[in-house]
Structure 1
Amino acid sequence: MLHRSMLVLFAFFAVFQSLGILVQSSSIVRDIRQPKPKPGSLKLCPPGGRSFLDAFNLICPMRRRRRSIGEFEDSSSLGNTMHKCCEEGCQFSDIFTICNPFG
């Protein structure tokens, strides 16, 4: 009787293991999950797609403040910003940094 109950318990364990019901390591789960966007951010995919261009065209005319020359070093490129907006999400301030770099 004891052997039969151990065999049944082992069979359940094998089924759960094969179905992936048991807890997996956190590194595997972390690779599967998509990164969550920051609160108040926009996910604009695909990078450089219509949604990004529409947001860019709406946000950039709102920019009125002139930047000093030192601020240009910290600004990211358009390509980096497009990929960041798709992968992580971006806020208005992220797009402002690439609006009119000469104005």
Structure 2
Amino acid sequence: GTVDAETKRFVEEFQWPLGAKTIDIARTRQGLLLSFVNAWKPTGPSEDKDIAIFFEDDIQVSPYFAKWYLEAHERFRYDASVCVFSAMRAQLRASDPNGEGELGNSLPADVEIF
């Protein structure tokens, strides 16, 4: 895909003091759903130690959110019945943007639904 030159320059020059920074530019336009699905993958054999938090660009969270999230993760990290913590309303759910039933029907075969 194409990337706005000013945005690309800003991201490349941005100094991230908390660890490695990786820039991944999609080859094609992904849309919102695939942007989330492809945004992050756990790395290496320490997958249970990797944590990701995704925020919409218009969300506000409490200053205590990170503390709550990390404590919840620590409490439930080995509980097989818990796989995600969400601040979304319970009635929201992924749906097929093409209206073809289940979400996986419109995703490429190599995309994992988790």
Q: TM-score, normalised by structure 2?
A: 0.21
Relative contact order higher in (CA < 8 Å, ≥ 6 apart): 1
**Greater per-residue helix proportion:** 1
| Rg larger for | 1
Q: TM-score, normalised by structure 1?
A: 0.22
